[in-house]
Chain A
Amino acid sequence: MTLSRVLRISALLLVLFAAVCLASLCIGVVSIPAKDLLSVLAGAFGGSPSSPSEEQIILLNVRLPRILFAGIVGASLSSGGVVFQALLRNPLADPYVLGISGGSALGAIIGIVLGAGSFCLGVPFLAFCGALATVFLVFFVAGGTRGLLLDNTLLLAGVVVNAFFSAAILFALSVVNSMELHSITFWLMGDLSGADGKEMILAALCLLAGFGILYAQARKLNLMVQGEETALQMGVNVRTTKYILLCVTSLVTAVAVSLAGIIGFVGIMVPHMMRLVFGSDHRLLLPAAALFGASFLVVADTLARTMIAPAELPVGVITALCGAPYFIFLMRRKGRG
């Protein structure tokens, strides 16, 4: 693996992301032809004195934030998936595997029921707290006795805690009223329509900082995949590395989940696709998955908001619709091998 290869492929995927974003800007209930796109954007940023046109408002205040938000969430979930799959040495792991989905969902539901939606960041904040509380609970359950986090115990603890929260969520769903039920369902399926400036900047900063830390561990991740004992014998301080990776990934995922809800399959599918194409070296895999994940979710969200326009689908429906068949394909292939 060389630096130039990583930069070349990243640049390529960045161009893909830009192209996807531009295409997505044009598509929608109001279709804006590609040739008008430039003039509208130029008009907006050129500081034209006239009041903004309808098209400008649609592009800059509605579509652009949402597209960027989808990109941020897609990148967070995909890089999270890469790290969890490597750390737990399990191809079925996804960023929610430590119970982050269940915990954040419960937090969000509590927020929605209590009417926290009227406060700035109310529901996301509670969802975030739920996610973090769950991660600590899982750490505690898995490593409580020996202070050592073993892959399988961790995975099992995540599954158990998630199952518990699912029960709590079902309970909550059966007692709330229908208005709340609708917003909860949308939240549970993943929803990118609620993008607002402050939240986005927060998520972007978390992603950038988190990704930087994760990338610094990329070579260690390569060794961790070979087994913890091997990593140790090659000079990796396994325990510290593991804690750093688990904490940072959980944080990045928790932020994305608390803002966008539970968008399934992105974090499990994109890492596998990238591994098939670019191999398993995490120095390339991490940026490739982040960039491709961003593009993937932008496409999925564009479909979600146009397929039954003017109504919208939750984006999680689209990702699951692509994800489940892909996953079956992957498992069948694996079964043959």
Chain B
Amino acid sequence: MPVIEAKNLLFRYTDKPVLNGVSFALDAARILAVIGPNGSGKTTLLKMLNATLFPDQGQVLLDGRDTRRWTRREIARAVAIVPQESSAIFPFFAEEIVLMGRFPHLGSIAFEDKKDYRIVREAMTQTDCLAYARRRFNELSAGERQRVLIARALAQEPKVLLLDESTVFLDLKHQARFLFMLRELSRVQHLTVVFVTHDVNLAAQNADAILLLYNGKKYAIGTPADVLTVQNIKEVYDVDVGIDSNPHNGLPRVTLFT
């Protein structure tokens, strides 16, 4: 049974549908990249997968159960999201932000115990942000903040991890580290990952499958080699690209002709 399944999603903020008949199913330990031009419905799709929004028609199934029938806390224990950006108006320590990831696992007044702190420290080690655990979140750089937010999502101990452009502020070292960690988590702990990105090469190199959205519709879904074709990209993005295969691993490599 797929861990997460979208069935015929239709959603509109106003008249024009943002998502229109999108379906896919994802098994455990798979990594799916969602790509598409601006306004194609990528972020809305993510919000539907963790029940921040509910589709007007169709349904999202988590472990085979409609997200409408999950409680908030249950969903937060199963699905975590790393947002694009987050701002705190009041000063919190980076560590406090990561500790918030433990919320769905605790009662509402409860204080974190040793186990929670251990999980938080582990998550912060994984994203290399333990060094500034006691610094104020809003005084960190964008990339440092992003590492804290990734750690928070890991502290939630989710089965499904959603990433919304979560690598844009990371430097090369931390990007490599993060992507390696994702594949490790997926392989060892069977973490399922859905990530939204504009970087088609990032998608090609790291995803098992790619979902290409265009005007709220599913334009293509499949392996990177299936989806990333010169023709698909020309039609969806209206740009000319060259595609060859990466000499290191044989995966498709997209070069933008400018």
Contact = CB atoms under 8 A, between A and B. Distances in A.
Contact of A226 (B88, B91, B104, B108): B88
Contact of A233 (B50, B89, B99, B112): B50
Given A219-B109, A232-B52, A283-B109, A225 B72 contact: no
A230 B92 contact: no
A242 interface: no
B72 A236 contact: yes
B103 A235 contact: yes
Interface string B45-88: 00000101000000000000000000011111100110100111
Contacts of A311: none
A146 to B, nearest CB: 13
A244 to B, nearest CB: 11
Contacts of B108: 216-220
Nearest to B156: A234
A237 B97 CA distance: 19
A219 B105 CA distance: 12
Given A219-B106, A219-B108, A234-B103, A280 B72 contact: no
Contact of B52 (A217, A218, A229): A229
A280 B104 contact: no
Given A230-B83, A234-B156, A279-B93, A222 B100 contact: yes
Contacts of B101: 234
B75 to A, nearest CB: 7
B13 interface: no
Nearest to A235: B76
A2 B99 CA distance: 12
A234 B89 contact: no
B103 A236 contact: yes
B-side interface size class: 20 to 34
A50 B92 CA distance: 58
B68 to A, nearest CB: 14
B117 to A, nearest CB: 10
B96 interface: yes
Interface in B31-46: none
Contact of B92 (A6, A85, A234, A280): A280
Contacts of A2: 111-112
A235 B109 contact: no
Interface string A2-29: 1100100000000000000000000000
Nearest to A271: B90
A281 interface: yes
A215 B107 CA distance: 13
A91 interface: yes
A34 B73 CA distance: 55
Contacts, number: 85
Contact of A230 (B74, B86, B89): B86
Interface in A51-65: none
The binding surface of chain A is classed by DSSP as helix
B104 A216 contact: no
B103 A233 contact: no
Which among B90, B93, B110 has the highest number of chain A CB atoms within 10 Å? B90
A7 to B, nearest CB: 11
B72 A235 contact: yes
A234 B108 CA distance: 12
Contacts of A215: 109
Contacts of B109: 215-216, 218-219, 283
A129 interface: no
Nearest to A215: B109
Contacts of B76: 233-235
Contact of B104 (A217, A234, A283): A234
Contacts of A6: 111
Given A219-B103, A236-B103, A281 B96 contact: yes
B86 A235 contact: no
B52 A279 contact: no
A270 interface: no
Contacts of A229: 52, 83
Contacts of B91: 275, 279-280
Interface string B188-201: 00000000000000
A1 B93 CA distance: 11
Contacts of B83: 229-230
Contacts of A222: 92, 96, 100
Given A235-B76, A235-B77, A1 B112 contact: yes
A89 B87 CA distance: 11
Which among B50, B75, B88, B89 has the highest number of chain A CB atoms within 10 Å? B89
Interface of A: 1-3, 6, 85-86, 89-91, 215-220, 222-223, 225-227, 229-230, 232-237, 275, 279-281, 283
25 contacts: A2-B111, A86-B90, A89-B89, A215-B109, A216-B108, A218-B108, A220-B108, A225-B88, A225-B92, A226-B97, A226-B100, A227-B87, A233-B52, A233-B76, A233-B80, A234-B101, A234-B103, A235-B73, A235-B75, A235-B76, A235-B104, A236-B72, A275-B90, A280-B90, A283-B111
Given A91-B89, A227-B87, A280-B90, 13 more contacts: A1-B96, A1-B99, A90-B89, A219-B109, A223-B100, A223-B103, A230-B86, A232-B52, A234-B101, A235-B103, A236-B72, A280-B96, A283-B109
The 5 closest A-B pairs by CB, nearest first: A235-B76, A235-B104, A235-B73, A280-B90, A235-B72
